[in-house]
Amino acid sequence: MNSDNRFNRRQQLALGTVIMLSPALRLFPSQSVIMAGRASWLCAAAAVPLLLAWLYFMSSFMSHRQSGEGLPEFILRTLGPIAGKITLAVLSLWFLIYGGFVLRSGADRFIVTIYPSSGPAAFSVTMGLIALAAVLKKPRTMVRFARIVKPVLMGVLFLVAFFSLFSLDFSNLLPVTVHDVMPVMRGSVMAVDIVASAVFYICMLEGGCTDGSAGRFGAFSRWLTGSCLLLTMLSVIIVGSFGADLCVRLTKPFFALVRNLVFFKTVERVEALVVMLWIFPDFLLVSAVLYSAQYCLRLIFGKDPTYNGERLTDFSGGRWVIWLCCAVCVAASLFIAPTPASLDFWSATIVPYVSLAIFFVLLPLVYAAGRMRKSI
């Protein structure tokens, strides 16, 4: 791979943190609280054992990759030219659908919180074009951008958490009894989906990482711990402030919390600024998904998908696929979930469970097939 496309593990995990924030504020704790009620703040902690086991599997799986291979090349080599291309085609289709959903979901957040009289098309098209510009360049651009915006986003989250402490009601969080164990385990599925999705998409870029297999599990485990603590913090401040019943009824509980906060007894109604900041996680998630889709498709067509300094308007080497993927992604966003109810269904059911099927069914099957074929 071109040395300009290289990045280290720390930068890769920074990208994982930022793209995790997009589904985190969509699903957590609004979906987990439906299943676990006031005990939903324990869902992220309950997800840790399963996530650690999956991370161990992914670390073992990715340790068989060759130098410069990302997850798409690895799947293609593991399964062979026919089964590998079919698998990459299925993944590409899902990436484009999921990218369209992220665009639609991001547009809905703007409409609900800031522009209630607007339609989603303008927001979806604009974000899609911005993501296209990122995908047309080297992947290190996304990684470095994540390193820049991560401190800003973390600072906002911790600032909101700090000022939320003054309105926290611990009776909304406690008591927790033994009867909450099973609801918490069910609610932990959302935390598993959020964290595993981030790991999966940064593994798609693994070919550009300069760090080898040694220390991967340790680095990812530490990142996992921090991510689950972050999700727990979100649950505590939101459920603790509103209570489980109100959280279920709120469309965007985190942004509703921000709207009600007063900073330093003078500054209030800053939700528009916070919503604008959340463009960055959506942008990077759509960019990562779009990059993965075009990368897989170009591998299927036998093209070299790595960036080698081409101009934005250069269509050689199958780069026209990038533009096609962007068009499909934006088109999908315009037709996916035309109503709030259907958007909630996609968010709470279709997207999480299809993603979990990829992480916990498809990837282990690829690994098993590779062991049987002795290709890994």
Do 143 and 7 contact (CB within 8 A), yes or no?
yes
* Structure confidence by residue, pLDDT tens digits, 162-206: 888 888 888 999 889 899 999 999 999 999 999 999 999 999 988
> Given this model, what pLDDT does residue 265 score?
57
Count of C-beta atoms within a 10 Å radius of residue 191:
29
> What is the percentage of the chain residues whose pLDDT exceeds 70?
95
Residue 136, pLDDT above cutoff 70 = yes
* Structure confidence by residue, pLDDT tens digits, 68-116: 788 999 999 999 999 999 999 999 999 999 999 999 998 888 887 777 7
Residue 133, pLDDT above cutoff 70 = yes
Peptide bond into 29 cis (omega under 30): yes
Which of 160-174, 284-298, 302-316 is least confident? 302-316
Do 176 and 42 contact (CB within 8 A), yes or no?
yes
How many domains does the chain divide into? 1
- Which CATH number belongs to the domain containing residue 125 in this structure? 1.20.1740.10
Domain that holds residue 103: 3-373
Q: What is the chain's mean pLDDT, rounded?
A: 88
Sign of the dihedral defined by the CA atoms of residues 200, 357, 74, 221, in that order: positive
Beta strands in the chain (DSSP E): 262-263, 267-268
Beta 267-268 vs 262-263: how paired, if at all? antiparallel
Task: Identify the top-confidence range among 24-28, 195-199, 255-259.
Answer: 195-199
Contacts 24+ apart (CB under 8 A), 170-174: 170/240, 172/38, 172/239, 172/240, 172/241, 172/242, 172/243, 172/244, 173/38, 173/41, 173/236, 173/239, 173/240, 174/38
DSSP, res 206? G
Do 20 and 227 contact (CB within 8 A), yes or no?
yes
Stretch 2-9: mean pLDDT, rounded? 70
CA pair distance 249, 310, nearest whole angstrom = 49
Q: Name the residue with higher pLDDT: 4 or 31.
A: 31
Stretch 225-248: mean pLDDT, rounded? 92
Do 30 and 248 contact (CB within 8 A), yes or no?
yes
pLDDT band at 271, cuts 50/70/90? low
Which of 18-22, 225-229, 242-246, 269-273 is least confident? 269-273
CA pair distance 224, 201, nearest whole angstrom = 15
The letter for the amino acid at 6 is R
pTM: 0.91
Residue 212, pLDDT above cutoff 80 = no
CA pair distance 361, 363, nearest whole angstrom = 6
> Given this model, what pLDDT does residue 156 score?
87
CA pair distance 20, 95, nearest whole angstrom = 16
